[in-house]
Amino acid sequence: MVLNFKVGGEGTSFSPHIFNNHMKSIFFKTEYDADNYGHFGTFGGRYVPEMLMPALEELAAVYDAAKQDPDFLQELMDLYKNYDGRPTPLYFAKNLTKQLGGAKIYLKNEGLNHTGAHKINHCLGQALLAKRMGKKRLIAETGAGQHGLATATVAAKFGFACTVYMGAVDYERQRPNVFFMELLGATVVPVEHGTKRLKDAVTAALQDWISNVDDSYYLLGSALGPHPYPSMVRDFQSIIGLEVKEQIMEQEGRLPDYLVACVGGGSNALGLFNAFLENKEVCMIGVEAGGRDITKIGEHAARLQSAGKIGVVEGYKSYFLQNDDGQVQSTHSISAGLDYAGIGPEHALLFEQGRVAYHAVSDAQVIAALQLLAQTEGVIPALESAHAVAYAIKLAPTLDDEKIMVVNVSGRGDKDIFILGDILGDEKWKNYLKKKSQ
Ligand SMILES: Cc1ncc(COP(=O)(O)O)c(C=O)c1O
- In CATH, the number for domain 90-115+237-421 is 3.40.50.1100
Dist CA 267 CA 117 (whole Å): 11
pLDDT in tens, 391-419: 999 999 999 999 999 999 999 999 999 99
Of these residues, 216, 222, 318, 410, which one is catalytic? 410
- Residue 105 CA to ligand 1 center (angstroms) comes to 21
How far is CA 290 from each of CA 262, 301, 309, 318, 360, rounded to the nearest angstrom?
A: 11, 6, 17, 19, 5
- Rounded Cα distance between 265 and 286, Å, is 11
Helix (H) or strand (E) holding 216: strand 216-218
Alpha carbon distance 385, 203 (integer Å)? 25
Position 315 scores a pLDDT of: 96
User: How far apart are the CA of 337 and the centre of ligand 1, in A?
Assistant: 5
Task: Give the pLDDT score at 24.
Answer: 55
Per-residue pLDDT of the chain (438 residues; tens, 9 = 90+): 333 333 333 333 333 333 444 335 899 999 999 999 999 999 999 999 999 999 999 999 999 999 999 999 999 999 999 999 999 999 999 999 999 999 999 999 999 999 999 999 999 999 999 999 999 999 999 998 999 999 999 999 999 999 999 999 999 989 999 999 999 999 999 999 998 999 999 999 999 999 999 999 999 999 999 999 999 999 999 999 999 999 999 999 999 999 999 999 999 999 999 999 999 999 999 999 999 999 999 999 999 987 899 999 999 999 999 988 889 999 999 999 999 999 999 999 999 999 999 999 999 999 999 999 999 999 999 999 999 999 999 999 999 999 999 999 999 999 999 999 999 999 999 999 999 888
CB-based contacts of 115, cutoff 8 Å, min separation 6: 146, 149, 150, 153
Cβ distance 264 to 410 under 8 Å?
no
Task: Name the DSSP class of 141.
Answer: E
Domain assignments of the chain as residue spans, ordered by start: 90-115+237-421, 119-224
In short, whether 411's Cβ falls inside 6 Å of ligand 1 is yes
Residue 209 CB coordination number (10 Å)? 19
Q: Respond yes or no: is residue 410 known to be catalytic.
A: yes
pLDDT of residue 281: 98
CB neighbour list of residue 188: distance below 8 Å, 6 or more residues apart:
148, 163, 164, 166, 171, 178, 181, 182
pLDDT at 5: 35
The ligand 1 atom nearest the CA atom of 146: 16
pTM: 0.94
Span from the CA of 14 to the centroid of ligand 1 (angstroms): 31
Choosing from 24, 104, 108, 119, the catalytic residue is 119
Residue 438: the pLDDT is: 85
What number of other Cβ atoms are within 10 A of residue 36's Cβ? 9
The predicted structure's pLDDT at residue 305: 84
Q: CA 257 to CA 186: how far, in whole Å?
A: 42
Q: How open is the CA angle 32-34-38, to the nearest 5 degrees?
A: 155
Distance CA 195, CA 169 (A): 8
- Distance separating alpha carbons of residues 438 and 435, to the nearest angstrom: 5
245 CA distance to ligand 1 middle (Å)? 21
Strand order in the sheet with 161-167: 187-191, 161-167, 137-142, 216-218
- CA nearest ligand 1 atom 4, residue: 384
The CATH class that applies to domain 119-224 reads alpha beta
Beta carbon of 222 within 6 Å of any ligand 1 atom:
yes
Atom of ligand 1 nearest to the CA of 267: 10
Identify the residue whose C-alpha is closest to ligand 1 atom 6.
Answer: 264
Question: Is any ligand 1 atom within 6 A of the Cβ of residue 347?
Answer: no
The two domains 90-115+237-421 and 119-224 share their CATH topology (first three levels equal): yes
